[in-house]
Amino acid sequence: MSDKKKLPAFLSDKKYRGRLTSFSMVLIMYIVIEILMNTGNLSSLFTSLLVPVCCYIVAAIGLNLNVGISGELNLGQACFMSVGAFSAVCVSGSLASSVPDVPRLVISMIVGAILAAVFGILIGIPVLKLEGDYLAIVTLAFGQIVKSLITNMYLGIDEAGYHFSFVDNNVELIPGGKMLLNGPMGATGTQRISTFTAGVVLVVVALIIVYNLMFSRSGRAIMAARDNRIAAESVGIEIVRIKLLAFGISSCLAGAAGALYGLNYSTLIPAKFDFNTSILLLVYVVLGGLGNMNGTMIATIILVLLPELLRSMQDYRMLIYAIVLILIMLLTNNEMVKTWIQKAYLRLSTDRKGR
Amino acid sequence: MDFLSYLINGLGLGSVYAIIALGYTMVYGIAKMLNFAHGDVIMIGAYVAFFSIGDLGLPVIPSVLLSMAVCTVLGVLIERLAYKPLRAASALSVLITAIGVSYFLQNAAQLLWSSSTKVFPTIVSAGGISWNGLTVSWLTLITIGTCIVVMICLTLFINHTKTGRAMRACSEDKGASVLMGINVNKMISITFAIGSGLAAIASVLLCAAYPSVYPTLGAMPGIKAFTAAVFGGIGSIPGAFLGGLLLGVIEIFAKAYISTQLSDAIVFAVLILVLLIKPTGLLGKRIREKV
């Protein structure tokens, strides 16, 4: 206890320490990458991965809020990214001639985030009444439904306004018009206005939102409901309402991430945000540690880069990825490894106290 | 007549889903885990049957048996190497490991047999039985027949043999089963063996209907069958049967009467509706939590 007195209050308190680590980590990475980029030391491959990494981090942080803090397994996070991405592409496409890039990016991201949040709350109301694996399967089902709905949407814009059709493509545009959504082909010819800086800003905003929620009254209620539903109910916590709050924020973050992702590519197909993407996000969250935002960030960065780093292995890289995934799970759950880590940690902390 | 023929086709597709769903539901019942690699065991089964019929020139029945043998061994191996060390771990860790195994199998298949689609040979002759203008293909009849036989054998095995009783005991209470002298690990292995063997049967039926074999073949039927298992109440064997059949019928009806492109969305929408009305699936037991 004595070492706590020496440190300033914001360092000794657990809730501030996590935040400080997160923000300094993001800042240092941003500066390092900017320097590398400006001196031309970053390969084009890595440069092209910067924005997607930020998007995956934000979506994974949202998912961690859902799975780690709220304790509900969500197998459909990618569908919220999809809602965000395609609504942002439409907004950006319709404003292309009238609004400059940066405000347009911000407006598109806000619209994407809001739409995804509305969607998340609409889905959440029925879903959160279910429990455990049934809840997981319903999120999976919603993910599939959203994917097939977007795959069947056709939206075009011309001087006469918007033209929309569903399932069959009946959109006929006056010359000079533009297709925003093109069914299974998705969005094509999108202006690429996403930037790495926007990605980092989004990550920081996501962290601020999630940390503030975690250590607020609502956040404590969410965690209480996760740890013991019945006990939480008996002290007057409305389970569905607060779980809905977490679910809504989680889908809002995924929507914003999706918006940034959608505006980073000139073509985007709806099949990009399928079940596999949801699973990938879940892998980032679980490997990083449930409820641990720093872990999520590190795991996301490593796992997005891993297949690229293994590119020299060519055909074997995804096989190695799979083996690494299984081995990490086996090792982190192995009793021997666990006690070894605990011992090492204890030794470290006693060393620090001894000083 | 259209209605009847759609219904029978739906039952045919549903029978395949039901056989796959049995694998999911049995494993969930005993090991309380969602085995995401099950769909990829189906894919391996399809490749084994493909090579055994095409390259080795074996007749259909021995090929199915060979495929079942390979899948059974594979299922037990996966359980031993990847899932058994995680018995005490959290459900999410096991889920991620299952996903890892699924990636592994898909990529191994891609490396071994390339990602190009192979055409599965015709194993059931085209024709069928015609009656009053209603034609039912041999394949549909065989599929439905196989499903019924599998269902009867499995029910007899689970309800009337010592091993079956032990398996039910394990799924109800592992701790008490150990005290009764049941080898829980062995029971879990047997469950995986049965589930994977059934997956091999399903793979051949599936490829007979949709004759293409590729590394991600198992993904969509896997998700659908998993949905079917939840639909019927996960952990319940009659539930998997019922869920599978219903899912197949709904899918074919949606394709025929509403829209081909939206059939998947409709199937999943029905699932959500069912779960909202009956949160533990059609035949699932509701376990009240005691304080």
Kindly tell me if the per-residue pLDDT of A352 is higher than 70: no
Q: SS3 for A81-129, per residue?
A: HHHHHHHHHHHHHHHCCCCCHHHHHHHHHHHHHHHHHHHHHHHHHHHCC
The DSSP annotation for A116-173 comes to HHHHHHHHHHHHTTS-HHHHHHHHHHHHHHHHHHHHTEEEEEETTEEEEEESS-----
In this prediction, residue A2 carries a pLDDT of 47
Residue A68, classed as helix, strand or coil, is helix
Q: In what order do the strands lie in the sheet with A178-182?
A: A161-166, A153-158, A178-182
Compute, in degrees rounded to 10, the torsion defined by CA atoms A175, A176, A181, A184. 50
Tokens of B60: 């259909």
A45-57 burial string, b = 16+ CB within 10 Å, else e?
Answer: eeeebbbbbbbbb
A85-123 burial string, b = 16+ CB within 10 Å, else e?
Answer: bbbbbbbbbbebeebeeeebbebbbebbbebbbebbbeb
In a domain, A104, yes or no: yes
pLDDT tens digits along A146-163? 999 998 888 888 877 788
Question: Among B116, B117, B137, which residue's Cα sits nearest to residue B128?
Answer: B137
What whole-number distance in Å separates Cα of residue B46 and Cα of residue B63? 10
Query: B285 exposed, middle or buried (CB, 10 Å; 0-12, 13-18, 19+)?
Result: exposed
Query: Are B103 and A315 an interchain contact pair (Cβ–Cβ within 8 Å)?
Result: no
Residue pointed to by tokens 């198992």: B218
Distance from CA of B101 to the nearest CA of A (A): 7
Domain that holds residue A52: 20-294
B67-79 burial string, b = 16+ CB within 10 Å, else e?
Answer: bbebbbebbbebb
The strand pair at B128-131 and B134-137 is best described as antiparallel
Kindly tell me if the per-residue pLDDT of A3 is higher than 60: no
- Chain B hits for A145, CB-CB cut-off 8 Å, are 264-265, 268-269, 272
In this prediction, residue A354 carries a pLDDT of 52
Tokens of A62: 């949202």
* ipTM here: 0.83
With beta carbons less than 8 A apart as the criterion, state whether A263 and A189 touch. no
Reported confidence tier of residue A351, pLDDT bands at 50, 70, 90:
low
* Low-confidence residues of chain B: pLDDT under 70: 1, 286-291
- Chain B hits for A286, CB-CB cut-off 8 Å, are 92-93, 95-96
What whole-number distance in Å separates Cα of residue B65 and Cα of residue A58? 48
Percent of chain A residues topping a pLDDT of 90: 37
Query: Chain B interface, mutation test: which of A123, A137, A152, most B Cβ atoms within 10 Å?
Result: A137
The DSSP annotation for B42-82 comes to HHHHHHHHHHHHHTS---HHHHHHHHHHHHHHHHHHHIIII
What whole-number distance in Å separates Cα of residue B207 and Cα of residue A149? 28
pLDDT tens digits along A13-69? 666 777 888 898 899 989 988 888 888 878 888 888 899 999 999 999 999 999 999
In this prediction, residue B10 carries a pLDDT of 93
Tokens of B188: 């879990």
Helices (H), chain B: 2-31, 38-54, 60-78, 91-113, 138-160, 162-172, 174-179, 184-209, 219-232, 237-253, 263-277
Mean pLDDT of A325-342: 83
A354 against A314, higher pLDDT: A314
In this prediction, residue A196 carries a pLDDT of 92
How many pairs of residues across A and B have Cβ atoms under 8 Å apart? 122
Query: A1 exposed, middle or buried (CB, 10 Å; 0-12, 13-18, 19+)?
Result: exposed
What whole-number distance in Å separates Cα of residue B87 and Cα of residue A333? 10
* Phi and psi torsions of A174, nearest 5°: -70, 145
Kindly tell me if the per-residue pLDDT of A277 is higher than 60: yes
Mean pLDDT of A211-232: 91
What whole-number distance in Å separates Cα of residue A245 and Cα of residue A253? 12
- Cα angle at A94 between A91 and A99, to 5 degrees? 90
Query: A174 exposed, middle or buried (CB, 10 Å; 0-12, 13-18, 19+)?
Result: exposed
Closest Cβ opposite residue B279 in set A67, A134, A148: A134
With beta carbons less than 8 A apart as the criterion, state whether A279 and A56 touch. no
Distance from CA of B142 to the nearest CA of A (A): 30
In a domain, A346, yes or no: no
- The count of structural domains within chain A is 1
pLDDT tens digits along A72-114? 888 889 999 999 999 999 999 888 888 888 899 999 999 999 9
Closest Cβ opposite residue A326 in set B36, B101, B108: B101
What whole-number distance in Å separates Cα of residue A346 and Cα of residue B95? 30
Q: How many residues are there in chain A?
A: 355
Query: A155 exposed, middle or buried (CB, 10 Å; 0-12, 13-18, 19+)?
Result: buried
Distance from CA of A180 to the nearest CA of B (A): 20
In a domain, A214, yes or no: yes
Query: Are A325 and B96 an interchain contact pair (Cβ–Cβ within 8 Å)?
Result: yes
Residues of A with CB under 8 A from a CB of B: 67, 73, 126, 129-131, 133-134, 136-138, 140-142, 144-145, 148-149, 151-152, 167, 230, 275, 279, 282-283, 286-287, 290, 315-316, 318-319, 321-323, 325-326, 329-330, 332-334
Mean pLDDT of A227-237: 90
Structure letter (DSSP) for residue A69:
I
Neighbours of B127 (CB within 10 A): 10
pTM for the model stands at 0.86
Reported confidence tier of residue A262, pLDDT bands at 50, 70, 90:
very high
By C-alpha distance, the chain B residue nearest A144 is B265
Question: Among B110, B126, B106, B128, which residue's Cα sits nearest to residue B118?
Answer: B110
Task: Please give the mean pLDDT across all residues of chain A.
Answer: 86
Neighbours of A224 (CB within 10 A): 17
A10 against A244, higher pLDDT: A244
- CB-side neighbour CA atoms (13 Å) of B229: 29
Residue pointed to by tokens 């005993």: B30
Interface list for B 64-103 with A (CB within 8 A): 82, 85-86, 88-89, 92-93, 95-97, 99-101, 103
A205 against B91, higher pLDDT: A205
What whole-number distance in Å separates Cα of residue B151 and Cα of residue B241? 8
In this prediction, residue A137 carries a pLDDT of 82
In a domain, A354, yes or no: no
| B236 and A CB contact within 8 Å | no
What whole-number distance in Å separates Cα of residue A112 and Cα of residue A106? 10
Helices B237-253 and B263-277, interaxial angle, to 10°?
Answer: 140
With beta carbons less than 8 A apart as the criterion, state whether A226 and A71 touch. yes
| B277 and A CB contact within 8 Å | no
Residue A281, classed as helix, strand or coil, is helix
In a domain, A320, yes or no: no
